[in-house]
A and B are shown apart, each in its own frame.
Chain A
Amino acid sequence: MTTTPETTTAPAEAVSFDRTEAADARRSGAGVTGWAANYLDERTGISYVVREFGRKIFPDHWSFMLGEVSLYSFVIILLSGSFLTFFFQASMAEVVYNGSYVPLKGLQMSAAMQSALDISFDIRGGLLMRQIHHWAALLFIAATGVHMMRIFFTGAFRKPRELNWVIGFTLFILAMGEGFTGYSLPDDLLSGNGLRIIAGMVEGIPFIGSWIEWFLFGGQFPGTAIVGRLYTLHILLLPAAVVALIGLHLVFVVVQKHTQFAGPGRTNDNVIGYPILPVYAAKAGGFFFIVFGVVVLIATFFTINPIWTYGPYDPSPVSAGTQPDWYIGFADGALRLVPHGWEFVLFNTTYSLNIIAPIAVLGLFIVTAMAYPFLEGWVTGDKREHHIADRPRNMPTRTAIGAAGVTFYAVLWAAASSDLIATHFRLSIEGVIVSMQFTLIIGPFIAYFVAKRICLALQKKDREMALHGYESGRIVRLPGGEFIEVHEPVDEYERWKLVSYNDYEPLMLRPNANGKIPPQERVRAVLSRWFFEDRIEPVSTTEVELASHH
């Protein structure tokens, strides 16, 4: 598939027209492939693209493939989802089920539920496709989340990649929207319960809540419009936005190049790795099929969303253990953790703090995470481009902030399964809720301090290794009777990884040209001190030389 120099120069030679030439080229040249490549290139000039794109280099590290996983699961979702649209009816018209699943025969349900059951029981391969679609959706958002953590903890969001972080974050939110609209489509009991909670949350917004709810549902909940509307969002608007943003996200990756970890020969101006063609394309293509295979395997053996067990939606029943899919869990958990009685009445209006507070807290959390690259950039005042990924330990405060954020999210997420935690670990549900309320507040602080201490300790260990080598395990007895353990020096390649990282110092407050210190500079100085007060300086060349002499 590679474009050889001969084929790229072919157009120039082809100017002198000769009937036998093409046939000769076919016979003597690279055969059919070469001829086809030539044919395409003469008409599209594609060799330029292939040459440019094919020589793109991607560095090799397992964590750099996480974004690929989410891309591939999205492709699986698109393929399986297209299949499902052939048979799904997004209508809330009432019908009587008369399909193959006997325990539901004769029951009134919406056309949406009926068609989802038909996909599961009467369309060949339908159930497998449904399960592939749903499992791939769970994987898509999970892989996206882990990919985001990789970006955060390695500082891959720093200049010039801040905008791509925002694009990626928007994709994460859109993916959650995709997931939730899909969860609500089959109109089974579980999805209806989920929609009821969303409707309730919307109603809880002061002043405009009830208006928005009636607008969304086209009248009183559940109405007859919501499935159709969610369907439009689910298969048209949201996927279009996701595809567009994924495209943009990838263009950014190509234009800005991929980050790499520090190592000998790796600088801020180069990328060391494999070219897309042929190595990386083959690897990535193979990886796509591995991801597809894992999803199909799971979908074959494990049930997901058994709507036939849940039955059709009816506003009166609510099942115990009604939960959203995992990615909405943090929001459900936030609702569950609100203390009892958080509401007040003012001028005949009830203000439901039990809904307003979670919405506000989650909104703040999301906005802070999204804006983090800009906040950190402002605090460090670093305007340089960064193409070398940080090892998490080398930015202790950032890693600690990340750990605190992950803990906060994880506690909310776990709180969504408080009832199952209570039944499966034989605890009282009140006890579970109260301990989670405490963990939600205290947990992030503990995670912050523990993560920061671990980072600093690891940095100290790195410094020790770079200067004095590693413990070889060889005990030597000196003539005087003293025992020592011999330290072997680390080799140059290893040392490179240990010593090369950015070192920031706390900002010194200095008056500006007008002889004044503006207030925002004071805030910046405080934040900078918080960030860089505790730091381990990288080993300098002099130190290495000094150490090697004794």
Chain B
Amino acid sequence: MLFPIRARADERPARSRRRSGRRSPLATVALVTIGLLLTGGAYTLFTASSGANAAIDLSSPQAIAQGKKLFQANCATCHGLALQGTVAGPSLIGVGAASVDFQVGTGRMPMARDAPQAEARQPVFTDTQTKQLAAYVASVAAGPGLPPSKYLTLTGDATRGAELFRINCAMCHNVAGAGGALTEGKYAPNLQDTTPAHIYEAMLTGPQNMPVFNDDNITPQDKQDIITALKTQAQNEDVGGFTLGDLGPVAEGLFLWIFGLGAIIAFTVWLTARAN
């Protein structure tokens, strides 16, 4: 046992010489970190740019043809070759471009697994492909179209929007848009990071368990107000400090018991500790 230790001790001068050399041992770590950051950053940029609203003419025959190919390859197994639906998936006749853009654009479709409800995830298709799919589905039968971009700017009345949100949406999505539970394992998702277009489309088409809020019920102007309210709330700085997930008294109580009372009990133990 003694020999290896002594051998290592002999090596020590050599190691310290190398440490004072040109390349620090941290250089490799730094290089890897920089590399990862660059790749990650580029990826984010790429996905972000593809998420921007690509201007595609939904009525163009090329887009429809392209969409049809994508549909047949990726969606027809469940929704049927003629959109008529199968036992595995509903008919898509008349759902419109808005519905496709929401379901595919948020990654809910193609569905990851058979679950109580389709969950949002990283989209499988690029924005262009999503719009092509939408163009194809809309070409088969008419339905709600993509939201007009003038309603997607955050220039609505946030006060009125928040009131509309409280009355129509908060019972499922929570007053801060933090989401909430529904029956049988379903849930209303968190809306704080949802894009204006997707919020608009969700109201218009009522995906999954959500009711439809059509334009007679909540006018496009109302929808814009709601989107403005949600987004300003999400963008506002949190005046009171960290919000603990906007979950209200449960999160506050848990925090107080674990960290507040925990810290204070640690102090009581410290104050009554006796030197050994």
Residues of A within 8 A of B (CB): 60-66, 69, 102-107, 120-121, 127, 131, 135, 138-139, 142-143, 146, 189-190, 283, 286-287, 290-291, 294-295, 298, 300-306, 308-311, 314, 316-326, 329, 416-420, 422-423, 426-431
**Smallest Cβ-Cβ distance to A421: which chain B residue:** B181
Q: Does B268 contact A (CB under 8 A)?
A: yes
Chain B residues 240-264 with CB under 8 Å of chain A are 240-244, 246-250, 252-257, 259-261, 263-264
By DSSP majority rule, is chain A's interface helix, strand, loop, or mixed?
helix
Q: Does B203 contact A (CB under 8 A)?
A: no
> Which residues of chain A have C-beta atoms less than 8 A from B265's C-beta?
62, 66, 146
Min Cβ gap A411→B in Å is 15
A-B contact pairs, 24 of them (CB 8 A): A62-B268, A62-B272, A66-B268, A103-B158, A127-B240, A131-B241, A139-B256, A143-B261, A190-B175, A287-B271, A291-B264, A294-B260, A303-B239, A317-B167, A321-B174, A321-B250, A323-B249, A325-B253, A326-B249, A418-B181, A419-B181, A420-B181, A423-B181, A429-B181
CA distance A317 to B169 in the complex (A): 9
A302 touches B181 (CB 8 A): no
A103 touches B159 (CB 8 A): yes
By DSSP majority rule, is chain B's interface helix, strand, loop, or mixed?
helix
A321-B178 contact in complex given A66-B268, A131-B240, A303-B244, C-beta closer than 8 Å: yes
* CB < 8 Å neighbour of A143 from B171, B172, B264: B264
Contact stretch, chosen from B1-9, B95-103, B126-134, B230-238: B230-238
Q: Does B213 contact A (CB under 8 A)?
A: no
> Which residues of chain B have C-beta atoms less than 8 A from A121's C-beta?
239
> Which residues of chain A have C-beta atoms less than 8 A from B174's C-beta?
319-321
> Which residues of chain A have C-beta atoms less than 8 A from B255's C-beta?
298, 302
A428 touches B185 (CB 8 A): yes
Q: Which of B116, B240, B253 has the most CB of A within 10 A?
A: B240
A320-B260 contact in complex given A103-B162, A326-B252, C-beta closer than 8 Å: no
Q: Which of B170, B181, B271 has the most CB of A within 10 A?
A: B181
Q: Does B187 contact A (CB under 8 A)?
A: yes
Chain B residues 219-236 with CB under 8 Å of chain A are 229, 232-233, 236
Min Cβ gap B207→A in Å is 17
Min Cβ gap B178→A in Å is 7
A189-B166 contact in complex given A69-B268, A106-B159, A127-B240, C-beta closer than 8 Å: yes
Instruction: Tell me the count of chain B residues lying within 8 A, CB to CB, of chain A.
Output: 58
Q: Does B173 contact A (CB under 8 A)?
A: yes
B252 touches A422 (CB 8 A): no
Chain B residues 163-202 with CB under 8 Å of chain A are 163, 166-167, 170-176, 178-185, 187-188
A321-B248 contact in complex given A189-B166, A428-B184, C-beta closer than 8 Å: yes
CA distance A107 to B165 in the complex (A): 14
> Which residues of chain A have C-beta atoms less than 8 A from B88's C-beta?
none
> Which residues of chain B have C-beta atoms less than 8 A from A431's C-beta?
185
CA distance A426 to B119 in the complex (A): 11
B267 touches A290 (CB 8 A): yes
> Which residues of chain A have C-beta atoms less than 8 A from B274's C-beta?
60
B 96-123 to A, binary, CB cutoff 8 A, 1 in contact else 0: 0000000000000000000010000000
B272 touches A65 (CB 8 A): yes
A316 touches B167 (CB 8 A): yes
A139 touches B260 (CB 8 A): yes
Q: Does B269 contact A (CB under 8 A)?
A: yes
* CB < 8 Å neighbour of B260 from A138, A308, A418: A138
A298-B260 contact in complex given A138-B253, A189-B175, C-beta closer than 8 Å: yes
B 17-32 to A, binary, CB cutoff 8 A, 1 in contact else 0: 0000000000000000
* CB < 8 Å neighbour of A319 from B166, B233, B242, B269: B166
